Structure 1
Amino acid sequence: MGATDETSRITRIWSSLSYRIGVNVAKYPILTIVLCLALSAVMSIKLACTEKVSAIDGYAMDDSMSRYEFKTFQEFLDSDGPGITMGVLIRAKDQEDGNLLDDFRLKEVVDVADFISTNFKINTSGVEKNFNQFCRGFCQANEPVIQYYNGLQVLTANNTDSISNRIDLSYPTSNFFGVKFSLIPNFFGITMNEDGEHLDSSTLIVLYFRAERYSDWTTKMVKKWELDVRDYFINDFKSDLINVEIMSQTVVETEIVRAGMSLQPFLVIGFAIMSTFCTVTTMLSSVYLYSQKPTWNKVALSIIACITPFMACGTAMGILFFLGVTFSPIMCITPFLVLAISVDDSFLMLHAWNRLESWRTSPIDKSLKEHMMGEVLVETGPAITISALTNILAFTVGALTSPPEIRIFCYGNAAAIFMDMFYQATFYTAVMTLLVDNKTEEVSARTKRIQEKITKVVSKFFRGYVDFISNVFVSTSIVLIWFVFIGFGVLGLTQLHVELRPSKFFLKDSPMLRLNEIRNEKVVTYYTPVTVVVNNPGDLSNETTIERLNELRLKLENMPEAIGNESTKFFVNDFVQFRNDISEEFDEENMDIETFLNWSEYRFWRGFIKIDNSTNPKTVSKFMFTTGFHGKHLKNWLNRGELLKDWRLAIEEFKDDFNATVFSEDGFFLDMLDTIPTITWQTTLATFVFVSLVCFLFISDLFTVAVVSIAILVTSVGVFGYLSLFGVTLDPVIMSIAIMCIGFSVDIPAHVTFHFYAARSKNRSSNNQIASAFDSVDSLKKTTTIPSEEENQNAAFRKSLTFALSSVGFPVIQAGLSTDFCALPLGFMELYMAKMFAAALTLCVTFSLIHGLVVIPALLSVKSHLMTRIRKCL
C-alpha cells in the first residue's frame, strides 16, 4: 500500500496547490488578466515576425545515412550549406507530346538557358554576378542541349561530308567537333529515327543549374535566386511554343509552407463553430440544469474559452522561436489541437462552478467567491492536469524519438498545451471571477418548470443507464463486442504499410503535383543518377589504384538497373588518357591536375574534382563521379529505396580503399521508408508507458490505471487500424498523428476514471482531502436513488459510477462534440495533412467517448461482479 499512499499524497498536494492558485488569482483578477494578455501579445508578435520556412531534410532522422552522405557531399563542394540546385523542366505548350526538337522550340529552350544564366544575379564578394559569372564547377551541365542545337544548325546550313564527319548527333552520346557529350541527363520522352541511332523527338528537356555556395552567401540569398527564377516564368515569361517550370528544394519547401499556411483561414471557421457551440451548450446547461438566468456574461465566458487556446499557442510558439526553434508548416495544426483540449477544460471549470453555485441561496461576496474559485480548481485541477501532462508527455517523448520536422511539431504542441494549462489556471480563472453570475434573481416560473422536467428526465436516465450498464449480461456483452472491435483494429494494423506520395505534402492546386508526376513518368524511369564521392582516391599515377577505381565504377555500371557506361561521368579515364597522350611533350612534374583541367575539352571536369594545392605536382584530394539507372519500377518510392540500399552495398566493398560514399537527391525521403515504421511503434510504445505512469500518479489504483491505459492503447489501435482498413498508409503525417492520438485518447477516460476513483475514495474515508471538491452535490445526484453500501456489494459501484457520470458525463460529451466540430473544417480542405488530422481526431475522440461512457463502466461492472463472486466463494 506504500505506492498507493504516496500517489494519494501527490493528489492531495496538487489539490492544495490548485486551491491556493484559485484563491490568489481570484484576489487579483484584473492584474492577472493584464499580465497574461501582455505576455501573449509580446510572444504573438514574435510569432508573426518569424519567417515561415520548411526543410525537406526535416523528415530524416538525425543519425540517418542520408544526412551523413549529404554532409560528405557538401564538404566535397566546400559549401557551408547548400548552394543553388535547380532543375528547369521544359515541354511543348498546349501539346502533351509536342516535339521539342523542332527548330523553333529548341531555339527557345536554348534562349531560356541563356536567359537564366545571364539575368538573375546574386551579390558575390560585393559584386552583383549572374550565373555564368559565379558558377565554378558545374557551368557546363546544359552544354549537351546547346551543342545539340548548334550541331543541328550547322548540319542544316552545311551538311557536307567534311562537316557531318565532325558532327555526330547520335543518342545517347554525341560528338561536336571532337567534344563528346551525353544526351541522357537532358533529353526525355524520346523516340528514335529509323536508323535507331538518332533522336526523332523529345517531349521533355531538363536544364540544370548548380552552383557551389560562396562564403558570403546566405541561405536566404540562395532561396531568393531560385524563387526569382520561378516567379519570372510564372508571371512574366511569354511563349507560344514552350512551357517552363522550375523544380528545386526551395520551390518544394515554399509549396509545403503554402500548404501549411492555408490552414489559417480555417482557424476562423473553427473558432466561430466552437464559440457558437460553447455558447449554446453552456447557456442551456446553466439555465435548464442549474436554474440560472441567461446573461451576456455566459456568452463572454464561452467565447473567451475559445480565445484562451489561441493565446496559449501564440505565447508558446513565440517562446520557442525566441529559443531558436524554427517554424514548421505542420505546426499550423497545433491551434486546432489546443482548441479542442482547452475548451474541454473550460467546460469542466464552468460546470464545477455551476454545481457549487447552485447550492448558494444568497449573493456571493468577494471572500466567498475566492474560496469557491479555489474549490473549482480543486475539483477540476487534477483532471485537467492529467489531461495536460499526458499530452505534454506524449509530445515530449515524440520529440525525443522523431525526426526534426516532427520534433518541432511535438515541441510546439507540448509548449502550447503547457501554456494552455497555465492560462486556464490563471487567465481563465480570473475571467471567471469577474464574469460568473451570482444567483441573485430567480428564473421565471416557465423556466423553472422546464428545469424540473429536465432534472427528472436526466435523473431517470442516470438511474436507468447505471442499472443497465451494471447488469452482468449487458456489461459482459459490451466487453465481448469490444474484443471484436479490437480484433478488426489489429487486422487493420497488419495491413498498414509505408507509402510516400507528393500529394501528401501539397495543396491540390500545387504545380509540384504535376511536376512530380512528370518527373516520375519521364525522368526517374529513364535516368535516376547516383553520385559517388571518392573521399580518398589515392595515387592516380598508380596503375593498381586506377584498376581498383574502375572496379568501383564497373560495380555500379553492371547492376541490373544500370544504364551503363554511356551514362557515366568518370574523369579518371580521361585523365589517364591525357597523361598517356602528352607524356612525350611534358615532364612528369608539369603534368599535374591543373594542366589537365586547363585543356578546353576537359574543363567540364573541374566541378568533379578537388585539388590538393599543398603537393607538387598538384594532386586530386577528392573526386566524384555519376552514373545512371533506369526502369519503370523506379516510379515506386519503395523500389527507389531498395536501389539506394543496393548502391550503398555496392560501394561498401571499397570503403577501406577509397572511403567512398553515395549521394542521392532523394536520399532524405528514401531513408524514411525504413525508419518511419520503427520510429512510429517505438515512439507510440514509449509514450504509452510514460502516459500510464502519469495516470498512476493521480489515480492510485492499479486496476483503474490499467483500465485507462488499456483504453488509451485500444483507442490508438482502433484509430490507425480502421484508418488502414480504409486505405490510409504510413508516412510522416501519420507518424505525428500517432503521437497526438496517444495524448488525446487519455482525456475522456481519465476524467471518468478519476471521478470514479475520487467518489470511491470519498465513500471509503470522509477524511480524504480530495473529497473537499465534492462537498456540494448537485440535484441530479440527490434525485438518484442509490442503494446503500450495506445492502449489496454492487451498491458502492453504482454510487461511484453515478457520481462520475453526473459530474463529468455532460462536460465530456460537450467536449467530445466540440472537438469533432473543431476538426470539421479541416475535413473540407484539399490537403492530405488536414484531412488526416480531421479523420484521426474525430475517430480518436469518438472512440474515447465510447470508452469513457460505455466500455470503461462495463469493464468496471464486470470487475465488480467478479469480485463479488470471488468474495462469496472465499
Structure 2
Amino acid sequence: MKQSGIAWQENKLLSTALLATGAVNFHEHNNVREDFSADDSPSRYEYAVTEDFFRSFGSPFHVVVAMKAADDGSLLRPKYLDKVIETEDYLQSKLSVPYNGRQITYSDFCESNCETSDVVSIFLNMYREVHIRKKGNVKLTYPSMDVFGNRIYLANNIFQVQLNNKSHIIEGCRMIAINFQAIQKNASSVEIMNRWEHEVFMFSESTKNDSLIRVYATSEGLVSKEVRRTGLQALPFITVSFLAVLLFTVITSLKRDPVTSKPWEAAFGVFCPILSLVASFGLLFWCNFPFLPIVCVVPFLVLAIGVDDVFIFLHCYHRTDPRLPVEERIGKMLAEAGPSITITSLTNFLSFAISIFTPTPAIQIFSAYISVAVVFDYTYQIFLYSAILTFGAHREKKHLHAFIPCISISETEKRSLKTQSDISDTLEELMNDFIDLWVNIAMNNVTRIIVACFMIIYCIVATHGVMQIKVGLTSEKLFSYDSPLLPFVKLQTEIIFKEGGQVAVFVNNPGDMRKPEIIPEIMRLVNDFEHATGSIGSASTHLWFIPYLSYVGIQEHGEIGFKYKYLPEFMKLREYHSWNSFVNLGLTEDCMNEKPTCLQKFFFSTGFRNAVQWSERLQLLQEWRNIAAHYSKFNVSIYEPFSMYADQLLTIVPVTKSTVIFAFIVMALVLTAFTPSITTIVSSTLTILSINLGVLGSLTYWNIDLDPISMATILMAIGFSVDFIAHITFHYYKGQTKGKRERLKHALRSIAWPMTQAGISTILCLCVLGVIQAYMVKVFVKVVVIVVVLGLLHGLIILPVVFGALPPRKRIVADVEKVSKTSALQKNHTIRIVVPAATPITIRKNELEKQISAGPRYQDSRG
C-alpha cells in the first residue's frame, strides 16, 4: 500500500513535468491599450472602428517627439532655433536604421503622412526667414498661419506660445512637438518602424546633457516596452523571496526535541507552491494564455498563499498524540487542518476567480493564472505534502535525527538535547502565554468598550478614506519611477493636454454625397463639434471635402456640386495627397460611374484644449459621443488617443462595487457552509467587511488610486482577509468546551501561532518587491501589508472580544473528530451518552477512554 502511495506521488510529479512542457507554447502579449481597456468600454469600440478604417492602408504608426530648451526658455532664440531645425532635419531624413543592406529613414516610409511632421519644418524655416534673416512677409499667426494660400494649423505642434499683443504674431514658444506618423503595411514595415522608433528613443536619451535642448519621445510601442521592463524587474526577486520564506519556515519549525523537529518537512513544504506555479503556468501556456507583465507578481502571491498551509499542517501534526500509529496520526492531522486549509484555499480561489469575469483583459488573465495556481497548490498540499509528513512521521517513529535522518537517537541523547532551548518553542510558548492573558482581558467589559470605541474611530477614518479615493489609470502608473518616459508624460499632462489635442470624427456611412441635403447636414455635424465644450473652433478643423469641392468646381467650370469621379485623381495630386488617409475609397470604377460606394467612409478632425484632468476629458468624450449619436444616420464615431484612460472613470467604480459585493456574498456562503452558526457567520462576515473597509480606506492614505491594478488587489484582499478570520471562526465553532473563555483559548491555541507565522511569511514574500520603484508593483506590496496587519489585528484581537461579548450558541455540538480511513481497522464499538442539552452523541469507545486517561487534548508532541 505504501509503495502504491509512493507511485501515486511519482505520477503526480511526472504530470507536473509534463505540464511544464507548456513553456514551448509561451508567448507574451504587451499592449497597454488592449490589456487595460475594459471589453465593454466605448473607447475599445471606437479604437476598433479606427483600426478598421485604416485596415485597408495598414496599422497606424505614431511617434511623438517633444523638444524643450535646456533653460526652459523660448526655442525661437537664434542658436536654439538652429539646433531645433537641425534636430528636426536629423529625425526627418538623416536618422536611419539598417534593413536588408539598406539604410532606411523616416522620409523613406512616411509616404502621405510626411506632411504631419512637415508642419514643424515649415514653421521653423519660415520663422527664421522672417525674424532672423528679415526676409519674406509671411504672417506667423497662432493657432493657424497662412503660407501662400495654404492654412497650416500649429496648435498641435507649437506650445507655450508668446504672442505679440497687437498683431498676434508668434514671438516665442517654449515647447515644440513633432508627430511622426506612418502606416505599417506588412511585417517588413513593422520591423523597420520598430527599429526606427527605438533609435529615436535612444537619440532622445542622448540629449540629456545637451547644453541647448532636451528631446523627449513616446509612442504606444515605447510605452508597451516600458511596461514590460517594469514587470520583469520583479522576477529576479522571486529567488530572494523563496530563500527568505524557506529560512523563516525552517527556523520556526524547529523543536527542542531533535526527533520531532521538522526542518526538512518544512523545507519541502515551501517547494509545493513552486511546483504549483510550474504546473499551472504550463497548463495555461498549453491553453494558449498569453503572458502579461502584471503576471510577474503571481509567483510571489502563490508562494505566500502556499506557505501558509505548511504552518497549519505542522502545527496540527504536533498537536496529535505521538503514541498513535502513523496513518492514524496523519488522518487526525488532516481532520484538524483540512477544513481550515480548504476554507482559505476555496476563498482565495473564488476571490481571484471572480476577477476573471471583470471586463479588463489584464485583470482577467492575471486572475486566471493565480486561480489555477491556487487549485494546484491546494492539491499538492493535501496529497503531496501530507505524504512528505507521513515520511517524517515514520522517521520520528524510528527515532531518527531530524536533520540527519540516517542517525538514530536514543532516549538518553534525546532527553539531553531537549534541555536546549530553541526559537520556535520559545515563541510558541510566549504566544500561548499571550493568549491566556488576552482572553482574560477580552472577557472584561472595559476592554469591550475600548475596542468598540476603537472600531468606531477606525470605521470613520476608513470610510473617509474610501470617500476620498481617486479613480483612474494613467500610463505613468505602469512605469517604474525612474522611467525615461516619465518626463514626457509630465509634459503631456501639464502642457499638451492643456493647450491642444485633436479628436477624429469618423463618418462610417456617408450615404449619397450628391444629394443636396447630405453635405449641409455633415457641415452641421462639423459645426457641432467645433462649438462643443473646449473646442478651438473652425481654425483647427481638417475637412477633406472643402478643398475637394473647390477642385470639383474648377473641373466643372464653376458648377458647384459633389462628384465622385474626380476623387481618385484628386487624392493622387501632390498638393492634396495628404487627404488620402482621410477617406476610404471603393473601386475606381464605382467612382467613374458616380456610384456612392466609391466613398465608403471618411473622417475629419478638430482641435480642443483645457482638458487636463481625466474627469474633464470624460465630460468632453461624453459630449462628443452625444453629438455623434444625434447623427445616427451617418453611423458617426469618435476617436481620441487617450480616451481609454478617461473611460476608466465610467467602468472602474461600478465594476469594483458589483464585484466586491458578489465576492462578499460568496465568502459569506463559504463561511456558512463550514461554520453553520448565526453567531460565527454574522461576526466573521462583519469582521471581513471591517478588514476590507480598512484596506479600501488605506488606499487613499497610501497614495493608491482605484484602477484595474488596485481593483485586482482589492479582490485579493477579500480572499486574504478570510484566511485570518476563517481559521479563528472555525476553531471557535468546533470547540468542545462549553465555556466561552475556554473555547476562545482553545481556538487561539489551535491556530494563533501558525496564523502569525503565515502573516509574517506573507509579508516576507512580498516585502522584497518594495525595492522596485514602480506603482504597479508597490500596490501589491502595500495592500498585502495592510491586509496582514488588519487581518491579524481583527483575528487575534477584535474577533475574540466579539465572540466573548456574544451569547453562546443555543445548542452545543460536540466536536466529533473525523478519523482517517485507516482508523476504520480499529474496533468500532460505540456507547451513547447524554450531554446537558440532552443531545445524543455517538463517539468511539476507544476515543473516550483515551480522553479520560490522557486529558482533554495533546497540545504538542514534545513530551
Q: Does residue 10 of structure 2 align to residue 31 of structure 1?
A: yes
Instruction: Give the direction of change, closer, same or farther, for the CA distance of 1:541–1:169 in structure 2 (3 Å limit).
Output: farther
Q: Does residue 220 of structure 2 align to residue 249 of structure 1?
A: yes
Q: Report which of the two has the higher share of helix.
A: 1
Q: Could you tell me which residue of structure 2 aligns to residue 679 of structure 1?
A: 655
Deviations 1:573-614 (A, max 9, x none): 222222223321899978521232233322221111111323
Q: 1:471-550 alignment to 2 at 5 Å?
A: 471=444, 474-475=447-448, 477-479=450-452, 481-550=454-523
Q: 1:643-654 alignment to 2 at 5 Å?
A: 643-654=620-631
Task: Give 2:350's aligned amino acid.
Answer: L
2:747 paired residue among 788, 804, 809: 804
Instruction: Give the direction of change, closer, same or farther, for the CA distance of 1:840–1:236 in structure 2 (3 Å limit).
Output: closer
Deviation at 1:735, TM superposition (A): 1.0
Q: Could you tell me which residue of structure 2 aligns to residue 5 of structure 1?
A: none
Q: Does residue 519 of structure 2 align to residue 559 of structure 1?
A: no
Which runs of no fewer than 5 residues in structure 2 stay unpaired?
400-408, 812-835, 838-863
Deviation at 1:450, TM superposition (A): 5.6
1:607 paired residue among 581, 588, 599: 581
SS at match of 1:314: helix
Bigger drift between 618-627 and 661-670 goes to 618-627
Q: How many Å separate the matches in 2 of 1:100 and 1:505?
A: 37
Task: Give 1:108's aligned amino acid.
Answer: E
Deviations 1:607-643 (A, max 9, x none): 1111132342364221111111112xx2222211212
Q: Could you tell me which residue of structure 1 aligns to residue 852 of structure 2?
A: none
SS at match of 1:86: strand
Q: 1:121-270 alignment to 2 at 5 Å?
A: 131-135=106-110, 137-152=112-127, 164=136, 167-193=138-164, 196-214=167-185, 223=194, 226-231=197-202, 233-234=204-205, 241-270=212-241
SS at match of 1:635: coil
What is the TM-score normalised by the length of structure 1?
Answer: 0.82
2:269 paired residue among 301, 305, 319: 305
Contact 2:260 2:396 in 1 (8 A): no
Contact 1:306 1:339 in 2 (8 A): yes
Deviations 1:765-824 (A, max 9, x none): xxxxxxxxxxxxxxxxxxxxxxxx6xxxxx343443333222212111111122223332
Bigger drift between 408-417 and 310-319 goes to 310-319
Task: Give 1:552's aligned amino acid.
Answer: L
Q: 1:101-112 alignment to 2 at 5 Å?
A: 102-112=80-90
Contact 1:121 1:225 in 2 (8 A): no
SS at match of 1:138: helix
Contact 2:62 2:180 in 1 (8 A): yes
Contact 1:353 1:376 in 2 (8 A): yes
1:275 paired residue among 242, 246, 250: 246
Q: Could you tell me which residue of structure 1 aligns to residue 305 of structure 2?
A: 341
Task: Give the root-mean-square deviation of aligned CA atoms.
Answer: 3.5
Instruction: Give the direction of change, closer, same or farther, for the CA distance of 1:121–1:184 in structure 2 (3 Å limit).
Output: farther
Bigger drift between 644-653 and 584-593 goes to 584-593
SS at match of 2:290: coil
2:287 paired residue among 314, 323, 329: 323
Deviation at 1:662, TM superposition (A): 0.7
2:342 paired residue among 385, 405, 408: 385
Q: Does residue 551 of structure 2 align to residue 594 of structure 1?
A: no
Task: Give 2:522's aligned amino acid.
Answer: L
Task: Give 2:729's aligned amino acid.
Answer: T
Deviations 1:496-529 (A, max 9, x none): 2314444422111102211111112222211111
Task: Give 1:744's aligned amino acid.
Answer: F
Task: Give 2:794's aligned amino acid.
Answer: H
Deviation at 1:95, TM superposition (A): 5.2
2:758 paired residue among 812, 815, 820: 815
Instruction: Give the direction of change, closer, same or farther, for the CA distance of 1:202–1:603 in structure 2 (3 Å limit).
Output: same
1:695 paired residue among 667, 671, 689: 671
Q: How many Å separate the matches in 2 of 1:588 and 1:594?
A: 14
1:427 paired residue among 376, 384, 391: 384
Q: Could you tell me which residue of structure 2 aligns to residue 4 of structure 1?
A: none
Instruction: Give the direction of change, closer, same or farther, for the CA distance of 1:127–1:533 in structure 2 (3 Å limit).
Output: farther
Q: Could you tell me which residue of structure 2 aligns to residue 115 of structure 1?
A: 93
Q: Could you tell me which residue of structure 2 aligns to residue 706 of structure 1?
A: 682
Q: How many Å separate the matches in 2 of 1:528 and 1:379?
A: 64
Q: Could you tell me which residue of structure 2 aligns to residue 774 of structure 1?
A: none
Task: Give 1:713's aligned amino acid.
Answer: L
Instruction: Give the direction of change, closer, same or farther, for the CA distance of 1:809–1:218 in structure 2 (3 Å limit).
Output: farther
Deviation at 1:750, TM superposition (A): 1.0
Q: How many Å separate the matches in 2 of 1:604 and 1:834?
A: 44
Instruction: Give the direction of change, closer, same or farther, for the CA distance of 1:170–1:488 in structure 2 (3 Å limit).
Output: closer
Q: How many Å separate the matches in 2 of 1:382 and 1:855?
A: 23
Task: Give 1:630's aligned amino acid.
Answer: R
Q: How many Å separate the matches in 2 of 1:866 and 1:304?
A: 41
Q: Does residue 39 of structure 2 align to residue 65 of structure 1?
A: no
1:90 paired residue among 58, 67, 81: 67
Contact 1:352 1:379 in 2 (8 A): yes
Contact 2:767 2:781 in 1 (8 A): yes
Bigger drift between 54-63 and 505-514 goes to 54-63
Deviation at 1:93, TM superposition (A): 4.8
Instruction: Give the direction of change, closer, same or farther, for the CA distance of 1:425–1:40 in structure 2 (3 Å limit).
Output: farther
Contact 1:529 1:664 in 2 (8 A): yes
Q: Could you tell me which residue of structure 1 aligns to residue 821 of structure 2?
A: none
Q: How many Å separate the matches in 2 of 1:438 and 1:750?
A: 31
Deviations 1:187-241 (A, max 9, x none): 2232234653432223322222223342556977765553354345546999765
Q: How many Å separate the matches in 2 of 1:449 and 1:232?
A: 66
Task: Give 1:604's aligned amino acid.
Answer: S
Q: How many Å separate the matches in 2 of 1:391 and 1:219?
A: 42
Instruction: Give the direction of change, closer, same or farther, for the CA distance of 1:294–1:199 in structure 2 (3 Å limit).
Output: farther
1:573 paired residue among 546, 566, 571: 546
SS at match of 2:638: strand
Q: How many Å separate the matches in 1 of 2:599 and 2:102?
A: 31
Instruction: Give the direction of change, closer, same or farther, for the CA distance of 1:866–1:139 in structure 2 (3 Å limit).
Output: same
Q: How many Å separate the matches in 1 of 2:439 and 2:123?
A: 84
Bigger drift between 697-706 and 249-258 goes to 697-706
Task: Give 1:55's aligned amino acid.
Answer: V
Q: How many Å separate the matches in 1 of 2:541 and 2:558?
A: 29
Instruction: Give the direction of change, closer, same or farther, for the CA distance of 1:109–1:94 in structure 2 (3 Å limit).
Output: same
Contact 2:679 2:806 in 1 (8 A): no
Q: How many Å separate the matches in 1 of 2:452 and 2:574?
A: 81
Instruction: Give the direction of change, closer, same or farther, for the CA distance of 1:339–1:158 in structure 2 (3 Å limit).
Output: closer
Q: Could you tell me which residue of structure 1 aligns to residue 30 of structure 2?
A: 53
SS at match of 1:411: helix
Q: How many Å separate the matches in 1 of 2:719 and 2:174?
A: 51
SS at match of 1:817: helix
Q: How many Å separate the matches in 2 of 1:510 and 1:453?
A: 47
Q: Could you tell me which residue of structure 2 aligns to residue 413 of structure 1?
A: 370
What is the TM-score normalised by the length of structure 2?
Answer: 0.83
Does 1 or 2 have the higher relative contact order (CA < 8 Å, sep 6+)? 1
Q: How many Å separate the matches in 2 of 1:358 and 1:677?
A: 54
Instruction: Give the direction of change, closer, same or farther, for the CA distance of 1:494–1:456 in structure 2 (3 Å limit).
Output: closer
Q: Could you tell me which residue of structure 2 aligns to residue 839 of structure 1?
A: 782
Q: Could you tell me which residue of structure 1 aligns to residue 861 of structure 2?
A: none
Task: Give 1:514's aligned amino acid.
Answer: P
Aligned-residue identity in percent: 27
Contact 2:75 2:84 in 1 (8 A): no
Deviation at 1:379, TM superposition (A): 2.3
Contact 1:82 1:212 in 2 (8 A): yes
Task: Give 1:701's aligned amino acid.
Answer: S
SS at match of 1:488: helix
Task: Give 2:661's aligned amino acid.
Answer: L
Which runs of no fewer than 5 residues in structure 1 stay unpaired?
1-19, 361-367, 764-788, 790-794
Instruction: Give the direction of change, closer, same or farther, for the CA distance of 1:336–1:385 in structure 2 (3 Å limit).
Output: same
